[in-house]
Amino acid sequence: MTGLVTLAELRAARERLCGVAVHTPLVRLEMPGEPAALWVKAEGLQPIGSFKLRGAYNKVAQLSASERARGVITYSSGNHAQGVAYAARAVGAKAVIVMPSNAPQVKRKATLALGAEIVTVGPASAEREAKAKQLAADFGYVIIPPYDDRDIIAGQGSCGLEIVADKLDVDLVLAPVGGGGLLSGVAAAVKLTRPGVRVIGVEPELASDAAASLKAGSMVSFTGEQTSRTAADGLRTQSVGALNFAHMQAYVDDIVTVTEAEIREAMRRLIFATRLVPEPSGAVAVAAALFHREQLPHAGQTVAIMSGGNVEPAVLRSVLEEEL
């Protein structure tokens, strides 16, 4: 099947995820002095601590019996790794995960706890993709891509369907962007059901390949050394996926970037104001809402997606100690 993900595919993914992924709540985050309302879509409350369960399970659940018997493989810095491991365990398939050497230990341990086998490579996202493809060729594993895949996009888009169903008066949706699975799925879901709602992607300044791509009108790649500078480890992909970029061009209104200091302050605000605990990647959309209002469309009701909460204890401690 070619072209962009359809509304029928998005709705089918939502049905497939019933009883597996949590329909996560919208939590109000007060902004002193701001008349507009900000709501946080708390995807850190998923069973694996991030939205990645949606796409991974939507893909794995559709594999044939013979494909499941071959086992699955993916490449991920941690959250997609857990999503694939969780989904593979649910259907009785072996899971092999290629992870970078700089992946957070909390994510490595969680992936192992779900029964997956881990293969470690260097920090570049291109390196782990190449290793996964090699192992798939050698052993017959089925590759479960982290973002550049229509079933993955449709699964992540179920998050967008929940937002428009739960917040009928939403004006603006903010979603983090790494490879683009979440942003492209959410943007498609929102625009295909509520065309007037604006959708903005958010990424770290230090890994701003998506913003550069949207501005250039073609995909721009960063080096692994460049993207490794951000603390937002879930957003260190070196470029967006081709299918993801097509969705961004069709449905995303803009992409804004946030600083490392803004990410950390957004983490603190979320923790103290809502008791939600985000990882750095999970706080970027909220950082845009808090610190970049002038770059965003005027909106009375904004939803920012907190994409995950799998934060390293040492990172969390340092973020909280800065406040003290």
Among candidate residues 94, 112, 143, the one where a domain is terminated: 143
Residue 1 domain flag: no
Same domain for 30 and 155: yes
Domain of residue 205 covers: 7-49+149-323
Asked whether residue 319 carries a pLDDT value surpassing 70, the answer given is yes
* Structure confidence at residue 223 (pLDDT): 76
Range name among 55-59, 93-97, 207-211 with the lowest pLDDT average: 207-211
pLDDT (average), residues 127-140: 95
Residue 2 counted as domain residue: no
Shared domain for 255 and 213, answered yes or no, is yes
Domain count, the chain: 2
For residues 61 and 29, membership in a common domain is answered with no
Q: Are 154 and 275 members of one domain?
A: yes
Residue 173: strand pairing partners: 199, 303
CA distance 211 to 264: 21
Q: What is the edge-to-edge ordering of all strands in the sheet holding 117-121?
A: 117-121, 95-100, 72-75, 142-143
Q: Which of 41, 52, 167, 191 is catalytic?
A: 52
The confidence band for 2, taking pLDDT boundaries of 50, 70 and 90, is low
Cα angle 68-71-73, degrees, rounded to a multiple of 5: 125
- Residue 247 inside a domain? The answer is yes
Question: Are 58 and 121 part of one and the same domain?
Answer: yes
* pLDDT higher than threshold 90 for residue 28: yes
Beta bridge partners of 32: none
- Alpha-carbon Rg for the chain in angstroms: 18
Contact criterion met (CB below 8 Å) for 128 and 99: yes
Q: Per-residue pLDDT for 1 more than 60?
A: no
- pTM of the predicted model as reported, rounded to 2 decimal places: 0.94
For strands 72-75 and 95-100, give the pairing: parallel
Give tens-digit pLDDT for 144-160: 999 999 999 999 999 99
pLDDT above 80 (res 234):
no
Same domain for 265 and 168? yes
Domain contains 86: yes
Which residue, of 115, 143, 171, is where some domain finishes? 143
Residues paired with 302 in a beta bridge: 38, 172
Domain boundary among the residues 108, 143, 178 is at 143
- Answer whether residue 185 is part of any domain: yes
| pLDDT of 72 strictly over 60 | yes
CATH of the domain at 84: 3.40.50.1100
Kindly state the DSSP code that residue 141 receives in the 8-state scheme.
P
Contact 315, 231 (CB under 8 A): yes
Kindly state whether residues 286 and 193 are assigned to the same domain: yes
Question: Under a CB-based contact definition with an 8 Å cutoff, are residues 16 and 61 in contact?
Answer: yes
23 plus 99 within the same structural domain? no
Q: Is 15 within the bounds of a domain? A: yes
Asked whether residue 22 is domain-assigned, the answer is yes
Q: Is 59 a catalytic residue?
A: no
Q: Which of these ranges, 95-99, 201-205, 231-235, 312-316, has the smallest mean pLDDT?
A: 231-235
Q: Catalytic site residue 318?
A: no
pLDDT, position 324:
59
Residues 213, 228, 281, 307: which is the catalytic one?
A: 307
Are residues 108 and 196 located together in one domain of the fold?
Answer: no
Is 72 inside any structural domain? yes
Tokens representing residue 215 in the block: 């501005």
One domain, residues 14 and 88 = no
Q: Which helix (H) or strand (E) holds 119?
A: strand 117-121
* Ramachandran quadrant class, 277 (left: phi over 0; alpha: psi -120 to 50; beta: rest): beta
Regarding whether 58 and 41 lie in a shared domain, the answer is: no
Q: What are phi and psi of 95, to 5 degrees?
A: -125, 130
**What's the rounded Cα separation, in Å, for the pair 124 and 109?**
20
Do 242 and 198 lie in one domain? The reply is: yes
